[in-house]
């Protein structure tokens, strides 16, 4: 606990992903007062042409009551 899953368009390097995961884990450990060893982070590439179906509709809209940071874009 906790586990964070990040979905993004392809294009980031493995080094960028590793750095991002490390920084997120550090912030969580500090903010939630837990050990770094308790934090896990996954990063999954989702092609742009599948974003609306796989992420926007299935996760952002479906989980909107649980979003603490909402996106600044829409699919209207």
**Sequence spans of domains, the chain:** 3-66
- What is the set of active-site residues? 2
Name the pairing type of β-strands 3-8 and 40-45. parallel
Q: How far apart (Å, rounded) are the C-alpha atoms in residues 10 and 20?
A: 14
> Rg of the chain over CA atoms, in angstroms?
14
Instruction: Name residues of the chain where pLDDT drops below 50.
Output: none
Q: The tokens of 68 are what?
A: 């603490």
Q: What is the largest CA-CA distance in the chain?
A: 41
Q: What is the pLDDT of residue 55?
A: 98
CATH number of 3-66: 3.30.429.10
Q: What is the pLDDT of residue 76?
A: 75
CA torsion angle for 30, 67, 45, 5 (degrees, to 10)? 40
Q: The tokens of 2 are what?
A: 């906790």
Whole-model pTM? 0.90
């Amino acid at each position: 606990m906790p586990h964070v899953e990040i979905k993004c368009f392809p294009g980031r390097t493995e080094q960028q992903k590793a750095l991002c995961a490390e920084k997120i884990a550090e912030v969580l450990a500090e903010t939630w007062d837990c050990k770094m060893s308790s934090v896990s982070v996954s990063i999954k590439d989702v092609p742009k042409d599948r974003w609306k179906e796989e992420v926007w509709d299935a996760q952002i809209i479906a989980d909107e009551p649980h979003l603490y940071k909402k996106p600044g874009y829409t699919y209207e």
